[in-house]
């Protein structure tokens, strides 16, 4: 079976830089279960705390393809479905 890898562009996505914590010294890191997933927390020596709530989700990329010639040929792609 041929490789069916679909590449998606991340162009235009802005990543946060968290400049407020640049240069701070980390005292500890914790991972805790939360209501909808997990929480990641970073405690700094100056007693400030940066946290990330992480929710698990599913992304589905529906696609119909033709393999009659043993080569991948896309026929139709539907909109991405995210949970």
CB 11 within 8 A of CB 2: no
Confidence (pTM) = 0.56
Which of residues 33 and 46 earns the better pLDDT score? 46
Tell whether the model's pLDDT for residue 81 goes beyond 90. Answer: no
Which of residues 83 and 39 earns the better pLDDT score? 39
* pLDDT mean across residues, the chain: 85
CB 29 within 8 A of CB 45: no
Span 45-67, pLDDT tens digits = 999 999 998 888 888 899 999 98
CB 52 within 8 A of CB 39: yes
Give the per-residue pLDDT at 4: 54
Which residues are registered as beta bridge partners of 69? none
CB 83 within 8 A of CB 15: no
Tell whether the model's pLDDT for residue 7 goes beyond 80. Answer: no
SS3 23: coil
């Amino acid at each position: 079976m041929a490789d069916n890898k679909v590449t998606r562009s991340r162009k235009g996505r802005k990543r946060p830089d968290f400049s407020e914590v640049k240069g701070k010294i980390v005292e500890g890191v914790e991972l805790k279960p939360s209501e909808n997933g997990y929480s990641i927390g970073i405690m700094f020596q100056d007693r400030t705390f940066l946290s990330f709530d992480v929710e698990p989700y599913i992304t589905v990329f529906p696609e119909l393809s033709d393999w009659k010639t043993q080569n991948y040929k896309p026929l139709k792609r539907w909109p991405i479905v995210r949970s």
